């Protein structure tokens, strides 16, 4: 297994388990995916674009935010942890794992597919510069792609590639052990059809009855594209009473979103049977800490 200089592996470099040994008789398998945006950096505070080319550390506030979200999630047993390989995401994930009450936590996997959207020539510049460039091009700031930057479709393609590998990894590594989970663990009561009940604000909202949990630490623009893909393209069921503006709003630093996936094993690989949104952009854990966007 090859590692980077920090000792972490990359998802694409992991040896995939053999298909015969890890297959099970389960026809359905469910896991949760908790998405967390990294903590604040000085560039966030100063409203400067980072993208992929500016790799800045967490600010003091960002470290406090990461500790807060780590304490919020500390009781959840994450079976798999993935992070963008940019240092603001890596450090946030490290602090989350440090707070975990489960001493033998999973190995963190660094994945370039989880990097922030590339903003090309706008990286390192004020966000207002991007708005001015978009206005000059006659486009909205959200849809505008600066020279050398990534389009939203390119970011979505990266997320789709990550999901494809993630789904296969979940089935190959966890479907066998999930066979010992309680009956109908793949469809928590009341969540198989229709809208998800509103969350209570608890860290384990949406998790009872779900046997396997994955954590992803990524970036604001990336998570926004990911949520939009899950809701609009994969037709995720939504919490009762949620507004689309809330779903697609920018995630605050260390904002938490959660989806639950049900997979089946098809001849060509994993097949998505159901997707449901539990909540998005939750920031209860921050209390009085700033939640810069």
Nearest Cα to 168, choosing from 2, 19, 4, 1? 19
The active-site residue, picked from 38, 219, 229, 285, is 38
**Is 60 one of the annotated binding-site residues?**
no
The active-site residue, picked from 94, 111, 116, 123, is 116
**Is 139 one of the annotated binding-site residues?**
no
**Is 71 one of the annotated binding-site residues?**
no
**Is 127 one of the annotated binding-site residues?**
yes
- Residue 174 catalytic? no
**Is 40 one of the annotated binding-site residues?**
yes
**Is 41 one of the annotated binding-site residues?**
yes
**Is 99 one of the annotated binding-site residues?**
no
**Is 243 one of the annotated binding-site residues?**
no
- Residue 60 catalytic? no
Q: Give the residue numbers marked as catalytic.
A: 38, 116
Binding residues: 37-44, 88, 127
Binding residues for substrate: 37-44, 88, 127
């Amino acid at each position: 297994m090859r590692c980077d200089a920090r000792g972490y592996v990359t998802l694409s470099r992991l040896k995939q388990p053999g298909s015969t040994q890890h297959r099970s008789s389960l026809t359905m398998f469910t896991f949760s995916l908790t998405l967390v945006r990294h903590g604040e950096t000085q560039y966030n505070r100063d409203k400067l674009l980072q993208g992929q080319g500016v790799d800045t550390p967490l600010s003091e506030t960002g470290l406090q935010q990461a500790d807060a979200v780590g304490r919020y999630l500390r009781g959840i047993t994450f079976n798999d942890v993935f992070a963008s390989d940019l240092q603001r995401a890596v450090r946030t994930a490290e602090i989350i794992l440090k707070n975990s009450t489960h001493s033998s936590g999973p190995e963190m996997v660094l994945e370039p597919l989880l990097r922030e959207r590339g903003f090309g020539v706008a990286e390192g510049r004020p966000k207002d510069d991007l708005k001015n460039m978009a206005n000059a091009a006659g486009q909205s700031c959200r849809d505008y792609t600066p020279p050398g930057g990534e389009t939203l479709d390119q970011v979505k393609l990266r997320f789709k590639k990550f999901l494809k590998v993630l789904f296969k990894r979940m089935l190959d590594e966890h479907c066998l052990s999930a066979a010992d989970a309680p009956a109908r663990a793949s469809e928590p009561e009341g969540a198989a059809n229709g809208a998800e009940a509103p969350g209570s604000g608890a860290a384990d909202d949406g998790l009872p009855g779900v046997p396997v949990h994955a954590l992803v630490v990524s970036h604001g623009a990336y998570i926004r594209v990911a949520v939009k893909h899950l809701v609009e393209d994969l037709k995720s069921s939504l919490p009762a009473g949620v507004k689309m503006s809330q779903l697609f709003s920018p995630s605050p630093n260390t904002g938490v979103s959660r989806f639950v996936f049900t997979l089946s094993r098809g001849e060509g690989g994993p097949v998505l049977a159901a997707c449901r949104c539990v909540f998005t952009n939750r920031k209860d854990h921050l209390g009085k800490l700033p939640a810069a966007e």
